[in-house]
């Protein structure tokens, strides 16, 4: 009878452990874990925080501009103040101010109206006494078969467009008298942003996931219930004082540390940044207004010159339909929107005052100071003379004697 020695040397045992194939890593979660990370359902553009930030920024800036009624003149255009200019610039109707009305107008064109906003003028005799905004959800555009004519219907009544103010943004190629908006361009981007938000919320609100796994070489019956696991934890894994090392029998417990999946691992932050830049590019706003990048003064002023003034042109040219006189027009003044520092304003105003192109009270108005009765006179330096008076300077006249 032969006896076999099954005991291995330390070297053989170590070699045998290295030859054991590693088991694949498996992630185990609760049944509804990933369900919390999935976004479904329709999302309105107005429900997207990034879209609202871009639209509200544009609407706020456009509504801050003064709407001036101008009249052509031989020496330059001058501002006219009458009942029509008051309705447009100060009190569109008894419920809304100019700023609130323009904010509604811009938001309707950019979001709810899908490139369109309709306003009904209130007329008394031959005067316009108010402007009534029409909800974009009530408006229907009736286009003729040849796509050359259309009418507007709301409140079960059909109107000729010439009797209304129809503001159009991003005109359609087939029907240029109707706007198109940004719904199609933003559909996928808004969906991605919503999914990123839901995923982030799911990670933040999910149950605590431990970053330590303890493998125990023991009878499974002892750890089959919560009481057995707590007893084992109390016996080997807890100390009276925090920071003291664990003291456990060799070969009985195997401790492994794992790294939970984070948002950085999913590249959520990079994807959100890219989508925010795309939203900013579609609306034409600087990306830093949506929380991406850093503030840039030149970029902001260019934003005023391009996107803000483009929408302002749509508004002022549509408002011109209210004017009967051929030599008048509406103009939105953007000067107050530019990001000027006080030093730049004082420097520019001082130069214009020295050149006699600006009164000192007008200069004070630039920097927000009240007028002063003693600063309404024009001051001219001695050397600033008209061309015809140059020969009359005493230093050019020689004494004949």
254: Cβ contacts below 8 Å, ≥ 6 apart: 214, 215, 216, 217
pLDDT at 30: 43
pLDDT tens figures, 154-164: 999 999 999 99
Is the confidence at residue 37, as pLDDT, over 60? no
pLDDT at 368: 75
CB 139 within 8 A of CB 147: no
Cα 274 from Cα 269, distance rounded (Å): 9
pLDDT tens figures, 272-297: 777 888 888 888 899 898 888 898 88
> Which of these ranges, 30-34, 210-214, 375-379, 385-389, has the smallest mean pLDDT?
30-34
Cα 200 from Cα 193, distance rounded (Å): 11
pLDDT tens figures, 348-389: 888 887 777 788 888 887 777 888 887 777 766 656 666 666
35: Cβ contacts below 8 Å, ≥ 6 apart: none
Phi and psi for 136 in degrees, rounded to 5? Answer: -65, -20
3-state secondary structure of 67: strand
pLDDT at 308: 92
pTM, entire model = 0.68
Cα 284 from Cα 293, distance rounded (Å): 15
Residue 118, strand partner residues: 134, 166
Q: 261: pLDDT confidence band, cut at 50, 70 and 90?
A: low
pLDDT at 51: 85
3-state secondary structure of 139: coil
């Amino acid at each position: 009878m032969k006896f076999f020695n099954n005991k291995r040397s330390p070297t053989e045992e170590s070699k045998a452990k290295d030859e054991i194939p590693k088991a694949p890593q498996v992630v185990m979660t609760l049944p509804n874990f990933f369900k919390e990370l999935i976004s479904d359902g329709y999302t309105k553009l107005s429900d997207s925080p990034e879209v609202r930030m871009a639209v509200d920024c544009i609407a706020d800036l456009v509504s801050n501009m003064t709407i001036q009624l101008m009249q052509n003149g031989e020496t330059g255009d001058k501002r006219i103040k009458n009942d029509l200019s008051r309705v447009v610039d100060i009190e569109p109707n008894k419920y809304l101010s100019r700023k609130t009305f323009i904010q509604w107008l811009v938001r309707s064109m950019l979001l709810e109206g899908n490139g369109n906003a309709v306003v009904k003028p209130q007329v008394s005799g031959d005067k316009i006494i108010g402007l009534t905004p029409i909800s974009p959800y009530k408006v229907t555009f009736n286009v003729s078969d040849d796509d050359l004519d259309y009418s507007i219907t709301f409140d079960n009544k059909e109107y000729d467009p010439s009797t209304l103010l129809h503001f159009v943004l991003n005109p359609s190629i087939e029907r240029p008298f109707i706007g198109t908006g940004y719904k199609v361009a933003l559909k996928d981007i808004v969906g991605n942003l919503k999914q990123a938000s839901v995923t982030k919320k799911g990670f933040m609100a999910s149950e605590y996931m431990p970053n330590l796994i303890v493998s125990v070489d023991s009878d499974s019956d002892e750890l089959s219930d919560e009481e057995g696991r707590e007893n084992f934890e109390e016996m080997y894994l807890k100390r009276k004082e925090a920071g003291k090392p664990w003291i456990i029998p060799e070969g009985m417990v195997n401790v492994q540390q794992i790294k939970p999946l984070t948002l950085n691992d999913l590249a959520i932050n990079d994807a959100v940044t890219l989508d925010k830049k795309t939203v900013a590019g579609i609306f034409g706003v600087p990306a830093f207004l949506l929380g991406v990048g850093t503030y840039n003064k030149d970029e902001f002023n260019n934003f005023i010159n391009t996107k803000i003034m483009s929408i302002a042109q749509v508004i002022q040219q549509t408002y011109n339909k209210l004017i009967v006189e051929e030599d008048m027009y509406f103009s939105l003044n953007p000067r107050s929107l530019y990001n000027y520092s006080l030093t730049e304003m004082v420097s520019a105003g001082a130069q214009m005052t020295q050149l006699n192109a600006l009164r000192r009270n007008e200069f004070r108005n630039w920097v927000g100071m009240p007028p002063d009765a003693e600063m309404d006179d024009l001051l001219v330096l001695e050397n600033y003379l008209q061309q015809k008076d140059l020969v009359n300077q005493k230093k050019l006249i020689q004494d004949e004697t």
